[in-house]
Chains A and B, each alone.
Chain A
Amino acid sequence: MILLALRNLVAEKTRFAFSAAGIGFAVFLITVLLGLYQGWNEKVGGFVEDVDADAWIVREGTTDFINAASILPRSLGEDVADRNDVAGVYPLVVRPMQFFEGDKKVEIHLIGYDVESGIGGPVKIVKGRGDPGDGEIIVDDVLSRTLNVAIGDTLTSGDSSFEVIGIASGGNFAFTQAGFMSVEAAANLLDMGDLVTFWLVDLEEGASTDTLASEVTAGADGVAVYSSGEFASATRHRILDNVIPIIIVILGLALIVGIAITSLTIYTATVERTREFGIMKAIGFNNGDLYRLVMLQSFITGGVGFVFGVALTLIASQFVDRIAAQFILYVRPFDVLLVLIATVVMAAISSIVPARRVGAVDPAVAFKG
């Protein structure tokens, strides 16, 4: 049966190639969307998770790291540092900023951090130095690549200028990329005086984030405390919840396109072979056998399309972020499994109408010359 299904399909090589390619592109689209979602999920929350702190103190109402509308006094950090369960407290100044490199606009998610401890700073320096002083900045490697900003370049903002001294990885938030400078330089640049955006807290071993949160929020009005995991998750939700409905709609469309292509192929192949199905019925095959044959053809087409589509995605994931920084594909084995299930569903649905047609074929058709 498998051999017959395969031969039936390859008897019309061009049509088979087009239909497998059609399903392949549907699979590609589905895999890319899932990969894109996972890529964004990884990048958007990844930096927050990588920061070596147990808790984040933020202004109440601040929902995430990217759209940070948080302002906190320096005195709050000093108060928290006096607690017995706290090993260290580190300021962070964060704001999206526009710099210029000559006439070129450079959008940067500016992060001012405590250079001495390195907490909240670059995840990994891939080129140059990692200890920015006054008038120095480190930029993310994706930003460096896409906007052609290199070590030694000067970025300006108003009357201030900063020399690029390092390139770091791990600061790509999909929609924007990080630039790191000392917290003092960032505060001066933004004229923040004694204010910071976040306080990062390193707890003593065995200390509880919940205890810290309840006691800090009781002692200071208008602040909130998140564990690192909670803040990463909140950041992910804030950013990705907006794109999930769009992704779901496009996923649905890709599924419909895949089903339409497979249905059309299998239906056409079935109609063309009506007489052959009649002959098979005449020589002893029952409807169940023929349903299986139609489904096999559908699954083989889907299988070839699946391999083609996933291969295309894996190839694309190797270089697509170099074309568009926002296009971060992270293809997990679990997502490939999901796409395989989607392909099986597409193939099964696609064979329903052709199978019904086969069921209605009169075996006596074999007698007609």
Chain B
Amino acid sequence: MSDRNVIELVNVSQQFGTKENPTHALRGVSLQVPERQVVIIMGPSGAGKSTLLAIAGALRRPTSGDVIIDGLTLSSLNDNKMSEVRLRKVGFVFQEFNLLDALTVMQNLELVLFRAGVPRKQAHARASEILSILDMSHRKDAYPKTLSGGERQRVAIARALVNNPVVIMADEPTASLDGKRGAEVMSLLQMIAHDMGTAVVMVSHDHRTLQYADRIVWLEDGHLEDREPASMASVPSAR
């Protein structure tokens, strides 16, 4: 039995600028991402990769087309429902980690669970469990600024996972890390997809990440197409 699609983009277009002088970031893009899959989006700088990630992650509404996350069509939802989708269905991992510096590692995770209405005791247990899986229990009381880059990204991944989402959206998660830490993070994301079933959609310019991908898609001039890993060897890393 094949894995079900957790995200579907149907003929999605995104246009910026004025009517007279429009810029087309996406032109009728369609994409299906099944659970357990690691999808890496690549493309030249300014091709609209982050825009695609923002639309697929319910952060932004497309100019036209539909986005379906875990069976929910986003165009029919108001802003508060979109927030709920991001809270319960999508986890985000950012290039700059984006943890809340005022809170400890544990509090960063608990905050998301409290927002989802999880009672204090269960929230603490769930956050502890995720930190244990990601081998970060020993830093649970540390503040983000005292952590290394690799540790911060692990905490960011823990935060993304804590509400048990169907998909993780990652925006260049290895860009701020050295090679070793980057590889650790990619192994972690691959484990999350393959072992835990949470799909991973990530934007990357780093060719070393491609070996972890189940699927590579190329975005250029607003169009999306699948690429074989072998064909990417000749493409230079670009931002």
Contacts and interface: CB of A to CB of B under 8 A. Distances in A.
Interface string A334-369: 000000000000000000000000000011101111
Q: Which of B86, B114, B163 has the most A CB atoms < 10 Å from its CB?
A: B86
Q: Which of B102, B111, B159 has the most A CB atoms < 10 Å from its CB?
A: B102
Contacts of A369: 94-96, 172, 175-176
B83 A285 contact: yes
A369 B88 CA distance: 24
B112 A284 contact: yes
Interface residue range, chain B: 35 or more
A281 B80 CA distance: 10
B116 A284 contact: yes
A315 interface: no
A305 B80 CA distance: 34
A288 B81 CA distance: 12
B100 A276 contact: yes
Contacts of B83: 281, 284-286
Interface stretch (A2-10, A26-34, A68-76, A143-151): A2-10
A62 interface: no
A279 B98 contact: yes
A11 interface: yes
Interface in B193-218: none
A367 B54 contact: yes
A114 B114 CA distance: 76
B50 interface: yes
A353 to B, nearest CB: 20
B171 interface: yes
Contacts of B160: 283
A12 to B, nearest CB: 11
A82 B88 CA distance: 92
Contacts of A364: 50, 54, 59-60
Contacts of B54: 364, 367
A157 to B, nearest CB: 71
Given A283-B92, A284-B116, A364-B50, A7 B60 contact: no
B103 A286 contact: no
Interface in B47-94: 50, 53-54, 57, 59-60, 79-80, 83-84, 86-88, 92, 94
B107 interface: yes
Contact of A7 (B79, B103, B112): B103
